[in-house]
Structure 1
Amino acid sequence: MPPTAWHSTDDLDAFLARAGDFLHSRPDLHTVLLTVTEGLRTRGLHAYGDEAPFFGLLEEDGSVRGACFRTPPYRLYLTPLTPARADSLAAHLAALGRTLPGVSAEAGTAAEFAEAWRRHTGATAVPYQRQRLYRLDTLTVPRPAPEGRARIAEEGDRELLVRWFAEFSRDIGESDGVRAESWADARLAYGGVTLWEAPDGSPVSMAGLTPQIAGQIRVAPVYTPAPLRGRGYAGAATAEVSRLARQRGADEVLLFTDLANSTSNGLYQRIGYRPVADFAVYDFQGQSSS
């Protein structure tokens, strides 16, 4: 075996056996890989789509130095990589004949991989979104709090969760009704969604939590129906699930934001979230066929 090599596999257990220690070494930067692979492990390999996922890892002198995965139809997701490692991954995937709709990663890595993919396949990278990863520091509950109360969603809320997750997915440019049902069932199984209720008992906002893995829990998603926004419900729900994540023993409570949304970025910082790293998402167009 060469001292440096990317390996691809569709075997989740084999991937986690080799990459697990590496992924646990930076639970914050690797939060998406940790939570998605946990979802695949517990919900099945088709939890995110009909096509089977694939995984990749980079080994240098017997140690894992990078990892990636893709759950079609979604984009390739990468751990932070040096420019040389990003280029070697692009060459590896192009040689396998992979087609990719895009990439999501730490901002520098995403840009390097997008350029490497252009060189190896002729695809054009189109910026889609800039994100920021935050970590909770000292929790500060927004004041004044809106009227109402928080409660953990229960089985009777399933239809609402399915509908709201589908609406949230459409808002961020993704839509998958089947995945919304799978998502709701998975979250209900471990109390992974908190609702904010108005005084009359009607739900007005939700905030979710991923399962705890490697000491980290990520807040996702946060959603308020459009007619109910601007009343403080999202901030109250987010503060409550952040408190709950700490109560459940998380060492790190994380969340991603869209940097184009100044309102949500300001809100999360007021609650106590502090920046960890910037991420970027690119779409690929015009890839040559292999």
Structure 2
Amino acid sequence: MRPDDWHLTEDIDDFLARAGDFLRSRPSLHTMALTMTEKLRMLGTAGNGTPAAVFGWLEQAGEVRATFYRFPPAGLSVTCLTPEQADTLAAHLVSLGHSLPSVSADHHTATAFAEAWQRHTGATPTPRVRLHLHRLGTLTPPEPAPAGWGRLVGERDQEQLMRWCREFAADVGEAVTIDAASWAGTRFAEKRYMFWETPDGTPVSMAGVNPMAAGQVRVDPVYTPAHLRGRGYAGAVTAEVSRAALAAGATDVVLFTNAANPTSNALYQRIGYVPIADWATYDFTPTEPEAS
């Protein structure tokens, strides 16, 4: 395998023409790339190129074997790689002058790439987070369900929705501004949301879903204010958005959980989500230049 088996482009249409079938072949495992390319289409960037973005695919014997994307200054997101494939990608990116702050992928790929990046650049990889990727099997709504029902979030709910997205982002350590002026540019804007509300009409929890891509829908985010947790609201609203996704034609419904949170992992498994992969993010600390 050679580093030049990797091909790069800044054009989303070119990328999807080459790698779209590969991404659609494993919709659950390729959820991040499918969601991101769908978002670009919704924003109307398809066909105009995306100068800030870099897309890539590994092609051997006329067949795509892996892909990646990156939106500088964010890190690299890559599909499953062997250690050899990870090494050729690292070598190719270094030869083109790329610098990376991080990598996110399934655990084995992220680890292999982090080690390769360290070999080629001297940068020190540090684990940031471990996640579990789950796919919905048989939906089993919580029983008994908490009092209330799910309802779609509408325009009149926008202030509360943005407030809860801010609180969710703070909980998971995302540095993002979420207000009326910035909302359209955040990763939260393109989703559809549902509130779980109590019989008196008070919203107590929310869940969002990404637009369907290749029959795949990802649940994200799920949030309940701290003082309302432990009452079954998160499970109920997640089951409701999952049911709605299936009713809309989704063939794969997935979500990520923090591996360090046994409560949320157990919750989603009780309603039918099955772990299918471990995920990891590594941050890279560049080598300090030697003092002259």
- Pairwise same-fold verdict (TM > 0.5): yes
CA contact (8 A) 2:83 2:113 kept: yes
User: Structure 1 vs Structure 2: percent identity of aligned residues?
Assistant: 57
Give the match for residue 19 of structure 1. 19
* Cα displacement (A) at 1:75: 2.1
- Opposite residue 17 of structure 2, the aligned amino acid is A
Cα distance between partner residues in 1 of 2:3 and 2:281: 30
Cα distance between partner residues in 1 of 2:3 and 2:132: 34
* Cα displacement (A) at 1:51: 8.0
Give the match for residue 135 of structure 2. 135
Cα distance between partner residues in 2 of 1:3 and 1:277: 27
Cα distance between partner residues in 1 of 2:68 and 2:163: 31
* Cα displacement (A) at 1:144: 2.1
- Opposite residue 236 of structure 1, the aligned amino acid is A
| Alignment partner of 1:249 is 2:253 | no
* Cα displacement (A) at 1:199: 2.2
Unaligned runs of 5+ in 1: none
Give the match for residue 35 of structure 2. 35
| Alignment partner of 1:285 is 2:285 | yes
- Opposite residue 186 of structure 1, the aligned amino acid is E
CA contact (8 A) 1:219 1:253 kept: yes
Give the match for residue 102 of structure 2. 102
* Cα displacement (A) at 1:126: 0.5
Cα distance between partner residues in 2 of 1:142 and 1:118: 46
Alignment of 1:35-74 (within 5 A): 35-43=35-43, 52-74=52-74
* Cα displacement (A) at 1:281: 1.0
| Alignment partner of 1:80 is 2:80 | yes
Count of residues in Structure 1 that have an aligned counterpart in Structure 2: 280
Q: TM-score, normalization: structure 1?
A: 0.91
Unaligned runs of 5+ in 2: none
Give the match for residue 124 of structure 1. 124
Aligned partner of residue 15 in structure 1, secondary structure: helix
CA contact (8 A) 1:3 1:61 kept: no
Aligned partner of residue 173 in structure 1, secondary structure: coil
- Opposite residue 113 of structure 2, the aligned amino acid is F
- Opposite residue 254 of structure 2, the aligned amino acid is L
Cα distance between partner residues in 2 of 1:85 and 1:247: 39
Give the match for residue 7 of structure 1. 7
* Cα displacement (A) at 1:186: 2.3
Aligned partner of residue 177 in structure 1, secondary structure: coil
- Opposite residue 12 of structure 2, the aligned amino acid is L
| Alignment partner of 1:226 is 2:226 | yes
* Cα displacement (A) at 1:288: 6.8
* Cα displacement (A) at 1:184: 4.9
- Opposite residue 190 of structure 2, the aligned amino acid is A
Out of 177-186 and 137-146, give the one that drifted further.
177-186
- Opposite residue 26 of structure 2, the aligned amino acid is R
CA contact (8 A) 2:3 2:88 kept: no
Cα distance between partner residues in 2 of 1:118 and 1:184: 33
CA contact (8 A) 2:57 2:66 kept: yes
Question: Cα deviations across residues 1-35 of structure 1 (Å, max 9, x unaligned)?
Answer: x7961111111111111110110111011011000
Give the match for residue 186 of structure 1. 190
Q: TM-score, normalization: structure 2?
A: 0.90
- Using a 3 Å threshold, how does the CA distance of structure 1 residues 105 and 119 change in structure 2: closer, same or farther? same
Cα distance between partner residues in 2 of 1:73 and 1:194: 31
RMSD: 2.0
CA contact (8 A) 1:58 1:66 kept: yes
Give the match for residue 202 of structure 1. 202
* Cα displacement (A) at 1:286: 1.8
Cα distance between partner residues in 1 of 2:67 and 2:188: 28
Give the match for residue 259 of structure 1. 259
